[in-house]
Amino acid sequence: MTIARFDTLTAAKALKEAGLDIHQAEAIAAQLRLAADADHGELVTRAEFFRALWIEGAGIVAILGVLQFLQI
């Protein structure tokens, strides 16, 4: 498997040429590097996210039903 590396020097140079000062360009390039190297295994899929929302919504509906039954 080939690992693509993020070239922070090239990114910083491009950002500097776009008008940012060198400190801003280096900071942005460093953050982009961190994002590129992040462990994406911790991210959830869209399906997992919507399933969690659905479960939360079902729980709220159940609580509202109990409160209505108890007339609180």
Express each pLDDT in 5-57 by its tens digit.
788 889 899 999 999 999 999 999 998 888 887 777 777 889 999 999 999 99
Question: Residue 4 pLDDT more than 70?
Answer: no
Q: Nearest Cα to 29, choosing from 1, 5, 62?
A: 5
Residue 1: predicted pLDDT: 41
Cα separation, 9 vs 22, in Å, equals 11
State both tokens at 10. 């090239």
pLDDT score, position 72: 67
- The better pLDDT of the pair 4, 62 is held by 62
**Is the pLDDT score of 58 beyond 90?**
yes
pLDDT for the residue 27: 92
User: End-to-end alpha-carbon separation of the chain, Å?
Assistant: 60
